Structure 1
């Protein structure tokens, strides 16, 4: 059994689907609510290093509601102020991160 950490928010349907599928595949999933328990600057740095601008969900309602100044700020500042801007879920294994819940992520984690 593999232990995974899933970063997201509890109301996200994609996060719920991912948790269910991962647990059914035998993984032990720890859920980290990024709204209730914000990530540290070093964790944001690690995620931004891995995913860059793709970590920001620019099609979200939250992003569209940002001021022009905030949209022009760097991604680390955006995520520190608005952690729900993060594309979800981010799944952490022992040796890497996965972003989203597309067929590639599912194929890698639901073996």
Structure 2
């Protein structure tokens, strides 16, 4: 079963995650959603499983630069629309492996889930 790592190539957390996967000998595909975008149905599936709060990177510069009106009253549909329009607002990295879905790079969690 293929492991897919979603993120942005230049992101430090994604770089660490890719290096960790390589060092662990875990084969994976990389999907750069800054270049290739992110599929709406996939993103909506992630939101259904984890909640938009787990996926929307509200600490990032892209989100912080939004007008206050765009930040107010966010729900799942608005969060998905924001993340589709600006994929850099998706918390990184995201890993899909079968039924496993991980957000953020935490080596201990990854080791337990992917080994």
Distance 1:110 1:80, change over 3 A: closer
Unaligned runs of 5+ in 1: none
Residues paired across the two proteins, number: 110
Shift of 1:60: 0.7
Are 1:97 and 2:101 an aligned pair?
Answer: yes
> What is the root-mean-square deviation of aligned Cα atoms in Å?
1.6
Q: Tell me the equivalent position of 2:8.
A: 9
Unaligned runs of 5+ in 2: none
Alpha-carbon contact 2:100-2:113 (below 8 Å) kept: no
SS at 1:108 equivalent:
helix
Q: 2 CA distance for matches of 1:49 and 1:69?
A: 25
Q: 1:83 aligns with which of 61, 66, 87?
A: 87
Distance 1:94 1:110, change over 3 A: closer
After TM superposition, the score normalised by the length of structure 2 is 0.86
Are 1:26 and 2:15 an aligned pair?
Answer: no
Q: Which runs of 4+ in 1 moved over 4 A?
A: none
Alpha-carbon contact 1:3-1:27 (below 8 Å) kept: no
